[in-house]
């Protein structure tokens, strides 16, 4: 079961003025499954996105990148059950066919629609099922359907992922609400995840395009479940401009900082939820690297620990086989690392220092920490002022079972 993660209370998800969401069933993978999500945006909305760096990127990712260049996005369409990845030119054609069908319903151009898919790779997108379901999704459109959409975009997720905050910017109440899916094939940049965060704040396209990268770097690009980068990862920021605040056009302004903080808060909650709901997860782990020479090397060491199967299986077993952490630090690729200067903590327990086991450490201390559901690993490099944090989970028997049976 997910680690300290419950489905969001629909009442806690604030509607975002200018955003409506509709859900429908196309039966792509399972009959009756609500697997189509349609999102309509008010005219004038700004949209920015970041996508997977997997070279085998899915057809909808390619189409999204092209359509975002044209600007003036008015709708998003998301399907689960089929990734439309590894489908060549035919996959592109089917993604565009879906966009054209959505555009016709709303009386807009096909280039104003962004398509997203998640599910099985190397199978053709079943447009014969998707297109007939679109009118029902349009009929279902509502500003309050964030929770329904969070459930509809799930694949192997056990718990729907959504979060919402409100803040004051320029004397106006500004809302930020978001949903995401992902629990396996999760590793930056980015991970098998879809994330959609919307705000009613007014913000320029240039600032939003910069902000989506910065927000992703402190949230979705800080989570790893299994070290596999998906073909379909997409993170989209939407700003409808209907909160009534003066448009944020200065990236150095206080208003911009306040909006970025709210967007980051929601995105971090969604990213952490992915690790908490990692396929078969029983432990949620925070890996903190402190006092490194620069952020890049801190992140490099954090990922080496967080994605190590040996570290993750030890945590599942609550076995303080902590030499596996030292091994991961050592092979992370920071070639001039002075291991004698490093301190390693498990929770508040000093485990290693001066190149070996801490004199004060006992295995009973380590075993006590390992039994907890949420665990922090701290590595203090003592070679600078940089820090980095990554979130991950353990590997349980269920991870193998879930992925072995993914297509059945």
- The CA distance from 241 to 343, in Å, is 48
Assess if residue 220 is contained within a domain.
yes
Assess if residue 356 is contained within a domain.
yes
CATH code for position 169:
3.60.70.12
CATH code for position 334:
3.10.20.340
Residues 152 and 228 in one domain: yes
pLDDT of residue 405: 62
Residues 6 or more apart whose CB falls under 8 angstroms from that of 230 comprise 52, 54, 185, 186, 190, 191, 192, 193
pLDDT of residue 186: 47
Residues 223, 226, 232, CA angle at the centre, nearest 5°?
75
- The CA distance from 207 to 199, in Å, is 14
- Of 184, 217, 212, 210, the C-alpha closest to 196 is 212
Active site residue 192: yes
Average pLDDT over residues 315-341: 94
Domain finish residue from 276, 298, 324: 276
Average pLDDT over residues 183-202: 71
In the chain, what are the helix, strand and coil shares in percent, each to the nearest 5? Answer: 35, 25, 40
| Beta strand spans in 263-314 (E) | 284-292
Assess if residue 4 is contained within a domain.
no
CA–CA distance from 17 to each of 42, 45, 181, 199, 207 (Å)? 8, 11, 23, 8, 20
Residues 234 and 292 in one domain: no
Residues 221 and 288 in one domain: no
Assess if residue 27 is contained within a domain.
yes
Residues 233 and 307 in one domain: no
Size of the chain in residues: 408
Assess if residue 88 is contained within a domain.
yes
- Supply the pTM of this predicted model: 0.90
- The CA distance from 310 to 324, in Å, is 7
Assess if residue 5 is contained within a domain.
no
Residues 267 and 301 in one domain: no
Residues 259 and 358 in one domain: no
Containing domain of residue 313, as a range? Answer: 284-404
Domain finish residue from 276, 298, 331: 276
What confidence category does residue 191 fall into, taking pLDDT thresholds of 50, 70 and 90? Answer: very low
Residues 188, 167, 203, CA angle at the centre, nearest 5°?
65
3-state secondary structure 192-235: CCEEEEEECCCECHHHHHHHHHHHHHCCHHHECCCCCCCCCCEE
Residues 169 and 108 in one domain: yes
Domain finish residue from 276, 299, 333: 276
Taking each continuous run of H as one helix and of E as one strand, the counts in the chain are 11, 15
Residues 152 and 255 in one domain: yes
Residues 102 and 224 in one domain: yes
Residues 215 and 335 in one domain: no
Residues 237 and 356 in one domain: no
b (16+ CB within 10 A) / e for 311-326 = bbbbbbebebebebbb
Assess if residue 3 is contained within a domain.
no
- The catalytically annotated residue of 156, 192, 231, 392 is 192
Assess if residue 93 is contained within a domain.
yes
pLDDT of residue 91: 97
The number of domains in the chain is 2
What confidence category does residue 231 fall into, taking pLDDT thresholds of 50, 70 and 90? Answer: low
Please state the separation of Cα 91 from the chain's center in Å.
24
Average pLDDT over residues 249-264: 98
Residues 346 and 269 in one domain: no
Residues 177, 219, 328, CA angle at the centre, nearest 5°?
155
pLDDT of residue 183: 60
pLDDT in tens, 278-307: 767 889 999 999 999 999 999 999 999 998
CB 19, CB 238: distance < 8 Å:
yes
């Amino acid at each position: 079961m997910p680690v300290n993660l419950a489905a969001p209370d629909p009442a806690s998800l604030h509607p975002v003025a200018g955003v409506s969401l509709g859900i429908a069933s196309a039966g792509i993978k399972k009959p009756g499954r609500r697997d189509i999500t349609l999102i309509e945006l008010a005219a004038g909305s700004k949209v920015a996105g970041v996508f997977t760096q997997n070279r085998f990127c899915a057809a909808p990712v390619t189409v999204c990148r092209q359509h975002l260049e044209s600007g003036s996005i008015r709708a998003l369409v998301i399907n689960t059950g089929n990734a439309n990845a590894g489908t060549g030119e035919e996959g592109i054609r089917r993604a565009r066919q879906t966009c054209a069908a959505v555009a016709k319903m709303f009386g807009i151009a096909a280039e104003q629609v962004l398509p997203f898919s998640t599910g099985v790779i190397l199978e053709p997108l079943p447009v014969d099922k998707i297109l007939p379901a679109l009118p029902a999704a349009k009929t279902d459109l509502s500003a309050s359907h964030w929770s329904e959409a969070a459930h509809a975009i799930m694949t192997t997720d056990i718990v729907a992922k959504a979060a919402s905050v409100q803040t004051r910017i320029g004397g106006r109440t500004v809302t930020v609400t978001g949903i995401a899916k992902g629990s396996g094939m999760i590793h930056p940049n980015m991970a098998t995840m879809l994330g959609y965060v919307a705000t009613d704040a007014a913000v320029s396209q240039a600032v939003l395009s910069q902000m989506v990268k910065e927000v992703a770097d402190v949230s979705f690009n800080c989570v790893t479940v299994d070290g596999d980068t998906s073909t379909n990862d997409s993170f989209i920021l939407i700003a409808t401009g209907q909160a009534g605040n003066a448009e944020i056009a200065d990236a150095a302004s206080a208003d911009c900082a306040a909006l970025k903080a709210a967007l980051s808060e929601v995105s971090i909650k969604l990213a952490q939820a992915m690790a908490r709901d990692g396929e078969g997860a029983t432990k949620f782990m925070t890996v903190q690297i402190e006092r490194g020479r620069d952020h890049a090397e801190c992140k490099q060491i954090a990922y080496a620990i967080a994605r190590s199967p040996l570290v993750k299986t030890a945590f599942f077993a609550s076995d303080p086989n902590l030499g596996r952490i030292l091994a991961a630090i050592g092979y992370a690729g920071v070639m001039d690392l002075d291991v004698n200067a490093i301190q390693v903590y498990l929770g508040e327990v000093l485990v290693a220092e001066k190149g070996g086991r801490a004199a004060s450490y006992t295995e009973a201390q380590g075993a006590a920490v390992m039994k907890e559901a949420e665990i922090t690993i701290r590595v203090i490099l003592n070679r600078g002022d940089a820090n980095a944090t990554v979130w991950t989970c353990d590997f349980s028997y269920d991870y193998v079972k879930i992925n072995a049976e993914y297509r059945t």
